Amino acid sequence: MKKTKIISLLIGIVCLMLLLTSCDSNTTKPDPQVDIGDIIKFGAYNWRVLDIQDGQALMVSENILEMREYHTSFTTTNWANCSLRAYLNNEFYNSNVFSNEDRSRIVQVSNVNLDNQWFGTPGGINTQDRIFLLSIAEVVQYFGDSGQLANRPPSAYVINDQYNSNRIATIYYSPTWWWLRSPGRNTGGASLVHDDGNIDLSSIDVDNNDVGIRPALWINL
């Protein structure tokens, strides 16, 4: 009888362990073997690894996740003050996109918000972000630099180069514009990447909701 109780207890412990493992199956496990350029599953989405430093990886969503305005109204704004930053660092960050363990791996970073490199529009103060958008400089750095950012072609408003295809992103399999956090040529607009992959440093109005978002984040590996 005693032996039967012990066996039953062991079976119960095993079942409990299996149940706990199943409940946590949506949590992304740390993977130290990640390389730059890899596409990995983190939370509910696939992410492209752009950089790895000191055991941490910078990632951007592989696809455009949703269509959303940079700011809820047409007004003077920048990354520090826009409604999109508030959304990403609150509602999006705390949603079921990430498990609690996923959130514990997301690193809060200090983002430098440069002035627009061609038009001089102020980029605003530096920000502390868990979820953010890439800047003009970061897109050039990680997707390909033809030198046009530092040396603007005459009368150009966009960077149109051999790296366009690297920057194309889709939503529902359709190429679509996606926001950058950098300002455009005026404080009522923000820069973006077009559906053909060129980088528009000029701008589009911040309340335009026909532009998608590709969130970026740093995680501990």
pLDDT of the residue at 203 = 87
Strand order in the sheet with 212-213: 66-67, 212-213, 178-183, 189-193, 199-205, 158-159
Residue 13 within a domain: no
146: containing domain: 30-220
Has residue 20 been placed in a domain? Answer: no
Tokens linked to 143? 């997707």
Residue 2 lies in a domain: no
Q: Say how many domains are in the chain.
A: 1
Q: Is residue 4 domain-resident? A: no
Evaluate whether residue 202 is within a structural domain: yes
Tallying the residues shown for the chain, one arrives at 221
Please provide the DSSP assignment of 46-80 as one string: EEEEEEEETTEEEEEESS--EE--SSSSSSS--TT
pLDDT per residue of the chain (221 residues) written in tens, 0 to 9: 444 444 444 444 444 444 444 444 444 555 668 999 999 999 999 999 999 999 999 999 999 999 999 999 999 999 999 999 999 999 999 999 999 999 999 999 999 999 999 999 999 999 999 999 999 999 999 999 999 999 999 999 999 999 999 999 999 999 999 999 999 999 999 999 999 999 999 989 999 999 999 999 999 99
Residue 161 lies in a domain: yes
Question: Does some domain include residue 139?
Answer: yes
Residue 23 lies in a domain: no
